Amino acid sequence: MPDRTDKAVVALIQSRVTDDLQHNLDATVEKIRDAAKQGAQIVCTQELFRSHYFCQTEDHDKFQLAEPIPGPSTEALAAVAREQEVVVVGSLFERRAPGLYHNTAVVFDADGRQCGLYRKMHIPDDPLFYEKFYFTPGDLGFRTFDTRYGRVGVLICWDQWYPEAARLTALQGAQILFYPTAIGWHPQEKSDFGMAQHASWQTIQRSHAIANGVYVAAANRVGHEGDPDGGIEFWGQSFICDPAGTILTEGSVNDEAIVISECDFSALDIQRTHWPFLRDRRIDAYGELTERFLDAR
């Protein structure tokens, strides 16, 4: 496809959620409308926006939260995309078939057409993040989607930590990498490790922007969810950074927000010609990246 030199206004929806699935869907749709009124052309939700982050426990009843694609949420997101003429990236709990579930992002173009799906590739299994119980790893690979306002790549939360995922998505022509996210502190660890944990999360994503010469936009949730004496305190701070890794805009740690910024796609060529990492890649020497580990030889 031809190089793009246009601009797009990008918005991230940073929200608290309730126990009411319909309320969460309706509130997100209304925030997409609000973002469009502020000039947004591409809008991304936080990870699994329809419900509380249910992966804090392994509970078979939580599979009832999933829905097919197409389904009620995709119908609502497609409708608001068409109504407001915005591109929408929506993160959902997909019921693909009986016993087969994914953590899935759906991309809608500005006419409401579904561009396609991305299914989360890297699935964590950590205290309060028991995602392997619920989600089958993605089988669509790393993908980009050509939309009215730019070519976007979508990865999801735990994918944020993997340079391979960012690289393979960027190499397909993505101008922006979107990361719908649900990440926060274990409250009992926050005082000792909280600052370092957040800094690592932001730094790794800024490094993806720099190494690939693309915009990065991470949409996170806010608020405490789960056991009142534990649970997760989601740290918000959704952000958009440019291809130099510079933070353009950032949400607060506590409050809901529409985090919005203009992205000038001509910056990709400027960044990549001044810092020519793609030019100097030794693609002849990276075959061993497909190995799990290189034992001493």
Q: What is the mean pLDDT of residues 286-296?
A: 91
Q: Within a domain: residue 296?
A: no
Q: Within a domain: residue 2?
A: no
Contact 240, 215 (CB under 8 A): yes
pLDDT for the residue 24: 98
pLDDT for the residue 103: 98
Tokens of 23: 């309320």
Q: Which structural domain, as residue segments, surrounds residue 125?
A: 7-290
Q: Is the pLDDT of residue 292 over 90?
A: yes
Q: What are 204-262's pLDDT values in tens digits?
A: 999 999 999 999 999 999 999 999 889 999 999 999 999 999 999 999 999 999 999 99
Catalytic residue set: 47, 120, 157
Q: Within a domain: residue 1?
A: no
Q: Is the pLDDT of residue 1 over 80?
A: no
Q: Within a domain: residue 202?
A: yes
Contact 182, 217 (CB under 8 A): no
Average pLDDT over all residues of the chain:
96
Tokens of 270: 């400027």
Q: Within a domain: residue 27?
A: yes
Quick one: pLDDT band at residue 296, thresholds 50, 70, 90? Answer: confident
Q: Within a domain: residue 89?
A: yes
Cβ atoms < 10 Å from Cβ of 276: 11
Residue 119's domain is classified under what CATH number? Answer: 3.60.110.10
Q: What are 76-133's pLDDT values in tens digits?
A: 999 999 999 999 999 999 999 999 999 999 999 999 999 999 999 999 999 999 999 9
pLDDT for the residue 2: 40
pTM for this prediction? 0.96
Beta-carbon contacts of residue 49 (< 8 Å; ≥ 6 apart): 13, 15, 17, 24, 25, 28, 90, 91, 180, 221
Q: Within a domain: residue 264?
A: yes
Quote the number of domains for the chain.
1
pLDDT for the residue 178: 98
